[in-house]
Amino acid sequence: MLITVDPTAKASLAEQVATQIRYAIARGELASGERLPSARDLAASVDVNMHTVLRAYASLQDDGLIELRRGRGATVIRSGNASFDRLRTLVEELRDQAETLEVPLDDLITMIKGAR
């Protein structure tokens, strides 16, 4: 699992780390029961402060995706493969509807990026 951060992005470094791990879980790259790198190791590989990784891990724990145990690290407790598959289906349906309405793909992408 390769994690990169952009210090100039709007999202905090912790949010960027958490989002990338969240996507890795959703795509099935990280399976239930799999251990994540220690906060210290991940911080060193991403070149961020260890507390940044701990905040990311806390966010993932709050979302019910990982379990944190002192001295044992972080473990994935919920795989999101089914969720990712459902999202892929929804995206394909959206793309098909946009084609039917003759909405250019670039315009659709702009709409998605602007949606909050």
| Residue in 28, 37, 18 with CA at minimum distance from that of residue 83 | 28
Residues 18 and 74 in one domain: yes
Residue 76 backbone phi and psi in degrees, to 5: -70, 130
Q: What amino acid is encoded at 67 in this protein?
A: E
Would you write out the chain's pLDDT as a tens digit for each of its 116 residues? 789 999 999 999 999 999 999 999 888 899 889 999 999 999 999 999 999 999 999 999 998 899 999 888 999 997 665 666 677 778 888 998 999 999 999 999 999 898 87
Residues 21 and 69 in one domain: yes
- The residue range of the domain holding 42 is 13-79
Residues 105 and 70 in one domain: no
Q: Which pTM was predicted?
A: 0.69
